[in-house]
Amino acid sequence: MKFRWRCPPTIWQALLIAAALLISFSYFPDLKGGWNQDSRFDLTRAIVENHRLYIDGYDGNTGDKAVWEGHVYSHSAPGLALSAVPVLEAGRVALHAVHKDSSGPRMVAAERYLATVVCVALPSALAAATLFLVALKLGASVNGAGFAAVTFGLATPFWCYATLLWGHALSAACLFFAFASVVSLREFVSPRRDLLLGIFVGLTAGWATVAELSAAPPAAIIAAFALACAWPGGGRRLFRVATGIAIGALPCLVVLLTYNTLAFGSPFRIGYAISAHQGWPLNQQGLIGVTYPKAHALREILVGRFRGLLPLAPIVGAAPFGFWLLWKQRNARGTFLVVTAIAVYYILLNASYVVWYGGYSYGPRYLSPALPFLCLPVALLWTRGALVLRWLLAVLAFYGVMVSLLAVSINTMPPDYVKSPVQELLWPAFRAGHLQANFGMLTGLRGLPSLIPLLLIWGAAFATWMWLRLGEVPELPEVTYKK
Q: Quote the CA–CA distance of 209 and 286 in Å, as a whole number.
A: 20
Mean pLDDT calculated for residue range 165-191: 95
Give buried/exposed letters for 156-175 (b at 16+ CB in 10 A, else e). bbbbbbbbbbbbbbbbbbbb
pLDDT at 480 over 80: no
| The dihedral sign for the CA sequence 274, 280, 285, 288 | negative
Mean pLDDT calculated for residue range 127-136: 98
pLDDT per residue as tens digits for the range 79-130: 999 999 999 999 888 877 776 776 777 888 899 999 999 999 999 999 999 9
- DSSP class per residue in 182-210: HHHHTS---HHHHHHHHHHHHHHHHHHHH
Do residues 16 and 126 make contact, with C-beta atoms less than 8 angstroms apart? Answer: no
pLDDT of residue 483: 36
Taken as a whole, the chain contains a residue count of 483
**Higher pLDDT among residues 67 and 2, named by residue:** 67
Mean pLDDT calculated for residue range 287-295: 92
Selection from 120, 121, 124, 156 nearest residue 378 by Cα: 156
pLDDT of residue 474: 54
pLDDT above 90 coverage of the chain, percent: 84
Backbone angles phi, psi at 68, to 5 degrees: -140, 120
Question: Would 401 be classed as within a structural domain?
Answer: yes
Q: How confident is the model at residue 247 (pLDDT cuts 50, 70, 90)?
A: very high
Average predicted confidence (pLDDT) for the chain:
92
pLDDT of residue 95: 78
Residue-number span of the structural domain to which 218 is assigned: 9-470
Q: How confident is the model at residue 211 (pLDDT cuts 50, 70, 90)?
A: very high
Q: Quote the CA–CA distance of 25 and 224 in Å, as a whole number.
A: 33
pLDDT at 287 over 90: no
Question: Would 287 be classed as within a structural domain?
Answer: yes
Chain centre distance of CA 258: 26
Q: How confident is the model at residue 8 (pLDDT cuts 50, 70, 90)?
A: confident
pLDDT at 478 over 70: no
pLDDT of residue 473: 55
Question: Would 314 be classed as within a structural domain?
Answer: yes
73 Cβ neighbours under 8 A, 6+ residues apart: 43, 53, 54, 55, 65, 66, 67, 263, 264, 271, 274
**Higher pLDDT among residues 314 and 1, named by residue:** 314
Strands 65-68 and 71-74, sheet pairing: antiparallel
Give buried/exposed letters for 409-419 (b at 16+ CB in 10 A, else e). bbbbbbeeeee
pLDDT at 479 over 70: no
Question: Would 267 be classed as within a structural domain?
Answer: yes
pLDDT of residue 286: 86
pLDDT of residue 99: 66
Query: In 265-386, which ranges are continuous DSSP H helix?
Result: 271-275, 295-303, 309-312, 319-328, 333-352, 371-375, 378-384
pLDDT above 70 coverage of the chain, percent: 95
pLDDT of residue 28: 95
Do residues 212 and 79 make contact, with C-beta atoms less than 8 angstroms apart? Answer: yes
Q: Strand pairing partners for 211?
A: none
pLDDT at 407 over 90: yes
Mean pLDDT calculated for residue range 145-174: 97
**Higher pLDDT among residues 430 and 2, named by residue:** 430
Question: Would 1 be classed as within a structural domain?
Answer: no
Q: What is the pTM of this model?
A: 0.93
Q: How many domains does the chain have?
A: 1
- Secondary structure of residue 412 in the 3-state scheme: coil
- How far from 197 is each of 130, 334, 341, 377, CA to CA, in Å? 15, 18, 22, 23
Mean pLDDT calculated for residue range 252-279: 93
pLDDT at 2 over 50: no
Question: Would 481 be classed as within a structural domain?
Answer: no
The C-alpha angle 284, 285, 289, rounded to 5 degrees, equals 85
Mean pLDDT calculated for residue range 331-343: 94
Question: Would 392 be classed as within a structural domain?
Answer: yes
Question: Would 483 be classed as within a structural domain?
Answer: no
